[in-house]
Amino acid sequence: MVSYAVIGASRGIGLEYVRQLAGRQNAVVFAIVRDAQGSTHLNAAVSGLKNVHIFEGDVTDYRSLERAAKQVRDVTGGTLDYLIHVAGRTDPETLYQALDDYPSMDALDEDCITAYKINTLGVIHGISAFLPLLRAGPTKKIVVLGSPAGDFRLTRAASIGDMAVYSVSKAGGLVAAMKYAVKLKSEGFCVVLLSPGLVDTTETIPGEHGAATGKALLDKWMVENSHGGPPAPCANPEESVRDQLKVIDSLKTSDNGRFLTYTGDDYVMP
Ligand SMILES: NC(=O)c1ccc[n+]([C@@H]2O[C@H](COP(=O)([O-])OP(=O)(O)OC[C@H]3O[C@@H](n4cnc5c(N)ncnc54)[C@H](OP(=O)(O)O)[C@@H]3O)[C@@H](O)[C@H]2O)c1
């Protein structure tokens, strides 16, 4: 049995991870979500599957993740093979804002703090809560979904002035994951950042008009950031996760500390 915990599994890329991993014969999958009952897409996708367990955990609430880790321990007997940390704040209402788009500094502060708690501190909470189980297992693989948006060089090179708070908070997440890679290297861990590429996850945005609003905002952003050329290709979650799992399946201890893309190559600033 190979055990996987996916943090942030209610929708989007995390949901697709659960869906694809659940199809593996010898896999047990732990879907960690903020609201188990409200995760309607996930519940529909895994209905009747015996190898998927849905446990509640909010990456801004460390105690809730500790409780989820205990529930995982009760199923596996004390180990975990893979931690896949997907949870991120990608709320379309604020995602595309530049720093001077906010109506007030209070509004900017609030968004920064919320994003920091999820995208930066959330990575630290997620890894820390599951570390005892990962340490006790033979595999010791941690994958954190990273975004090139968190690389200040991309901001400069591609002139991306918007997506500001998201980028700042993802930058913190990149560094946090890398700190764990350095600290855990001597224990035989492989901690990597993985960029999923541009993925359209708007279909599972909650709310009556969530998907339509999210798609319209994504399409607008793609056009605005194509600098007159054709918009960059955007994968669907199924394609992206299929590629990401190929990368994860081939991870070796010597890959520790790499920032990989869904193609298996190192992330290199375009
Ligand atoms: N899509 C892309 O093009 C892209 C590109 C680069 C990197 N990424 C990264 O890939 C990851 C997934 O992106 P996505 O497009 O799939 O996003 P998404 O569709 O917005 O899904 C985000 C997921 O994170 C969960 N989440 C948010 N806050 C949480 C919290 N406090 N505790 C636990 N879970 C929480 C959400 O759960 P709820 O349902 O409870 O809100 C949801 O399951 C993110 O880290 C993102 O930064 C995405």
Average pLDDT over residues 54-61: 98
CA distances from 40 to 33, 45, 94, 151 (A): 11, 9, 24, 34
Residue 222: band (very low, low, confident or very high) from pLDDT cuts 50, 70, 90: confident
Average pLDDT over residues 31-41: 97
H or E stretch at 132: helix 121-136
- Residues shown for the chain: 270
8-state DSSP, 150: G
What distance in Å separates the CA atoms of residue 123 and residue 84, rounded to the nearest whole number? 10
Query: What is the best residue among 6, 7, 13, 46 to mutate for testing ligand 1's pocket, by most ligand atoms within 8 Å of CB?
Result: 13
What distance in Å separates the CA atoms of residue 4 and residue 250, rounded to the nearest whole number? 15
Strand order in the sheet with 141-145: 52-56, 27-33, 2-7, 82-85, 141-145, 190-195, 259-261
Average pLDDT over residues 66-86: 98
pLDDT in tens, 116-156: 999 999 999 999 999 999 999 999 999 999 999 999 999 99
Q: 85 CA to middle of ligand 1, Å?
A: 9
Looking at this protein, which amino acid is placed at residue 59? V
Residue 237: band (very low, low, confident or very high) from pLDDT cuts 50, 70, 90: very high
∠ CA 34-39-45, rounded to 5°: 130
Which residues fall within 8 angstroms of residue 244, CB to CB, at 6 or more apart? 13, 17, 194, 196, 262
118 ligand 1 Cβ < 6 A = yes
What distance in Å separates the CA atoms of residue 143 and residue 260, rounded to the nearest whole number? 10
Which residues fall within 8 angstroms of residue 246, CB to CB, at 6 or more apart? 264
pLDDT in tens, 154-212: 999 989 999 999 999 999 999 999 999 999 999 999 999 999 999 999 999 988 889 99
Closest residue by CA, ligand 1 atom 6: 147
H or E stretch at 23: none
- Among residues 3, 147, 169, 240, which one is catalytic? 147
- With 0-12 / 13-18 / 19 or more C-beta atoms within 10 angstroms meaning exposed / middle / buried, residue 206 is middle
Complete domains list, the chain, with CATH: 2-261 (3.40.50.720)
What was the pLDDT predicted at 223?
84
Looking at this protein, which amino acid is placed at residue 115? A
Which residues fall within 8 angstroms of residue 126, CB to CB, at 6 or more apart? 7, 59, 65, 83, 85, 87
Q: Are strands 2-7 and 190-195 parallel, antiparallel or unpaired?
A: unpaired
What was the pLDDT predicted at 82?
99
Looking at this protein, which amino acid is placed at residue 160? I
| Dihedral angle sign, alpha carbons of residues 66, 69, 71, 74 | negative
Question: Is 166 considered catalytic here?
Answer: yes
Average pLDDT over residues 256-267: 97
pLDDT at 221 > cutoff 90: no
Atom index in ligand 1 nearest the CA of residue 11 equals: 43
